Amino acid sequence: TSLQLVFSTTILLLLYFQNSVLVFTYGSYGFVSERSPCACRICVADRGNSNWFSERYDPNVPILLNSTNSVLSTNVSRWWKLQIVPNAGNYTEVVDQLFPLFPDKEHYSDAGPDRCRTCAVVGNSGNLLGSNYGPLIDFHDFCFSLRINKGPTEGYEKDVGSKTTHRIVYPESAMDLDNSTHLVLLPVKILDIQWLISAFTTKNITQTYTKVPSTIKANKDKVMILHPEFIRYVYDNWTEGHGLYPSTGFLTLIFALHICDEVNIFGFGATSDGIWHHYFEKILTSYEIGIHAGRFENETINRLQQENKILIHKGWT
């Protein structure tokens, strides 16, 4: 009967799409079903729901450096080498030493309609104190720990969590990591990559523009290096040329937008009474001080929430 046919067709459709999220859009011939790019309620990579976002977000930009994408365009190379201090070596020669030491593969290529990769980006703001966000932060699949300036977790677990799957570092902020954490190097100069190689081999680099550790405890098989082209992309598309280069926190947020399906951020911004300080110290800070475009980055982060691309957890103090 026609009723049985309808029932059978419905069951087949449910079986076919059981691991997918269906989005219904109204086309010129009625409603048409499309497979969502992920299994979350809202997917970051869905560029159809925000013109502002789609104008800035490039899904094809190289995120992490590997042997197949290591050649830099003249535009990227010239800009990147101007950062902080003069380059200390030949980029091509340095990269040739890099990939025999660390994983040389494509990461995060398993996104799909049956996945919902949730990510927490955790900063240092004093608004984390008293928040009891720890369990919520640790519940995420990935926890990107900025905890900039070696922000501690011990003693603060109930507010900042204890799980760290990725820690963003550069030589001047390096610290020992446990064996399960990915070390994600943020290279703003060739010397940063040289330091990474040295830290796992000769241990002879102890100075950049300041004293840096000669070695670091970390899992060599979990080392990643942000691509210089990705850093330039964030500078061009997201900070729109403001500041000298993007802040660590802002770069990490955009990194998360590219490898996560759902992004929640914690520990950004001021406390409820407008005070800017780190949760582990009382010294006042400001997003307007320094070489980064703090005000512009802050406005962009708020706009990302308005566009339903991230959720900002502002804390309770």
Instruction: Cite the active site residues.
Output: 245, 292
Reduced to 3 states (helix: H, G, I; strand: E, B; else coil), residue 28 is: coil
Rounded CA separation 49/141 (Å): 25
Residue 273 to residues 126, 269, 270, 276, 317, Cα–Cα distance (Å): 11, 11, 8, 9, 8
Nearest Cα neighbor of 186 from 238, 219, 231, 141 is: 231
Reduced to 3 states (helix: H, G, I; strand: E, B; else coil), residue 254 is: helix
Name 240's Cβ contacts closer than 8 Å, sequence gap at least 6. Answer: 296
Contacts by 198-204, CB closer than 8 A, 24 or more apart: 199/174, 200/101, 201/101
